[in-house]
Structure 1
Amino acid sequence: MTTTTVRGPAATLPSTLRIGLSRGAAEVRAYFRERDAVVFTFALPTLILVLLGYIFDEPLDGAPGTRVSQVFAAGMVAYGILSTAFISVGIGIAADREDGTLKRLRGTPATAGAYLIGKIVLVAVTTAGSVALMLATAVLLFGLDLPSDTGRWVTFGWLMALSVVACTLLGIAASTLARSARSAPAVMNLPVLALQFVSGIFVHITALPDAMLTVASWFPVKWMGQGFRSVFLPDSLAAQEVAGSWEHGRIALVLTAWCLLGLVLCLATFRWTDRRTR
């Protein structure tokens, strides 16, 4: 009698999404073990908010009941996202590339796409904590009112999602510009600091010259700040924006375009190894 063995289907590897989510959970656990990094990431945006808020804590011209500190607090949410998503991720990837962490990951089922998903998961978690701390500080110290209607929170939700994805992808792509982990902080901080000033985050938008506003309009930071101001400030303050309105449709289009551009740049420039080892 002949026995026929029926073989089952070949085992398949987990999907990129599943690997990415698993990688993201591991990234979050590793991140919160680094207590100094957690304190720095969460405290820096809030510290700058407190300093600017107290320096410019005066009534806003043409807006009874609103103070300049509240305008800064609303727009500074954009800086909190940039600090966590762009700077921290870019520096972290440069360090992982230099110490061989990425090279070791290449030998696992983790694809570049899964690695990107893992970083977005990490940034989503850490950004939520950083922004929550900033908003709590703004409410307690500067009297910022949180939205009471659902529509504004919906706007806040899609702004956060698009901003986190765009800044994370751009941070990953920009990490390739750093020749070493030592130079990464300078490489990542320079464009961020410049864009904070020309985009109306560290300086009130009405005080900026037209040339700076034109330059800022090509980058996501200006639109992020404008979007978050629309969430937390009275609608009457939309008249002080460049176009005289909040421009939610344009904000969504610009941030979506930067998400797509960031993805293209990541896929085109991402490297598993340090360029000096080639």
Structure 2
Amino acid sequence: MTTTALRAGWDRGVVELRQSFTNGADLWGHFFWPLLMVGVTVFLRDRTFAGFQLGALVLPSILGMNASMAMVSMSQQLTADREDGTLLRARATPNGLVVHLVGKIISVSGGLVVDLAIFLVPALLLVPGLAVDAASWPTLAWVLALGLAAALPIGAVLGSVFTSTRSQGLLTLPILGLIGISGVFYPVTALPEWVQGVAQVFPVYWMGLGTRSALLPDSAAVVEIGESWRHLETVGVLSAWTVLGLLVAPIVLKRMARRESGSTVAGRREKALQRVG
């Protein structure tokens, strides 16, 4: 039964991912932000920090940031499905919630990988100062895989907390603030020590650190905390967030699903129509 549900979830996710490349709005999202970030790295490539080109320091950090944004995508999509009754219909079928969640994981992860490729390929050609070799890709792969494993359950929890897509705006500002203190656009060592401590609690900083370790020369570690890439700490923190998310997400999702009914979906739809009117 579980194997059947996983296979059905995989098929659902692949279909959703394929559809995202035939929809104009989704295509805009796939290309606009990655290419905008390419522009940011090109703009910064001639600036320096501690003797290193800032564009090269920023490029891998943006990869880690985008991976962490999978939690936002997951949250938004689950909230939208909850609002329009898709989750309620999924609950009415055998293993429907499992199939639905697996499908979302596949579609969000697949879309993210495509977005990262759209950003990384031109950026590697336009931004000097990187150190890409055969060892870079395995490191990049495990950092992104572990980062996604940490981010997606968090996104599922957040998606069960918000009751409407309008309320998702409450999530944007804290995430942007977290990105701002996580060393994405400027080395975190330039920030006050207490800010560095806060940043190290959350996965965004560690994803950025891991991707920098994959694509930058070893000498660039001098601008990091402890002048080290800290791979063991990266694995530890991201794994801790993964375990926490996997423990909490099923409980929260099941509780949220039990509260869903036809009347609650109809009530949300009526409120939405009143706002439009």
Could you say which TM-score interval applies, normalised by the shorter chain?
0.7 to 0.9
- C-alpha distance in structure 1 between counterparts of 2:61 and 2:206, whole Å: 10
Aligned CA distance change for structure 1 residues 87 and 41 (closer, same or farther; 3 Å): farther
CA spacing shift, 1:124–1:145, aligned 2, 3 Å: same
- Per the normalisation by structure 1, the TM-score is 0.85
Do 1:147 and 1:231's aligned partners in 2 also have CA atoms closer than 8 Å? Answer: yes
Deviates more, 1:267-276 or 1:96-105: 267-276
Matched positions, count: 261
Q: 244, 258, 264: which is aligned to 1:277?
A: 264
2:139 alignment partner AA: T
Paired residue for 1:20, among 5, 9, 31? 9
**1:58 positional shift:** 1.2
Looking at structure 1, the residues matched to 31 and 151 of structure 2 have their Cα atoms a distance apart, in angstroms, of 17
**What residue is the counterpart of 2:43 in the other structure?**
54
Pick the aligned partner of 1:172 from 135, 156, 172. 156
Structure 1 Cα separation of the partners of residues 100 and 236 of structure 2: 26
Which has the larger Rg? 1
Q: Provide TM-score, normalisation by structure 2.
A: 0.85
Alpha-carbon deviations, 1:229-274, whole Å to 9, x = none? 0011110111211121101111111111111111122112113365
RMSD: 2.3
The residue correspondences of 1:20-99 to structure 2 (distance < 5 A) are 20-51=9-40, 53-55=42-44, 57-62=46-51, 66-83=52-69, 85-99=70-84
In structure 1, list runs of 5 or more residues that go unmatched.
1-11
Q: Give the one of 193, 199, 202 matched to 1:210.
A: 193
Question: What letter is aligned with 1:75?
Answer: S
Following superposition of structure 1 onto structure 2, how do residues 114-125 of structure 1 map, counting pairs within 5 Å?
114-125=99-110
Change in CA separation of 1:101 and 1:147 when aligned onto 2, cut-off 3 Å: same
Change (3 A) 1:13 1:40: closer
CA distance in 1 between counterparts of 2:183 and 2:166 reads 30
Task: Please tell me the residue identity of whatever aligns with 2:206.
Answer: W
Distance 1:274 1:48 in 2: 39
User: Quick check: 1:41–1:88 contact (8 Å CA) kept in 2?
Assistant: no
Q: What is the 5 A alignment of 1:134-149?
A: 134-143=119-128, 145=130, 147-149=132-134
Determine what percentage of the aligned residue pairs are the same residue: 33
CA distance 1:49–1:202, shift in 2 (3 Å): farther
What is the match of residue 236 of structure 1?
219
**Tell me, which stretches of 5 or more residues in structure 2 are unaligned?**
266-277
Q: Does 1:132 align with 2:117?
A: yes
Matched residue SS, 1:199: coil
Against the structure 1 CA distance between its residues 264 and 38, is the aligned structure 2 distance closer, same or farther, given a 3 Å change threshold?
farther
Per the alignment, residue 245 of structure 1 pairs with 228
From the two aligned structures, give the one with the greater helix fraction: 2
1:31 corresponds to which letter in structure 2? S
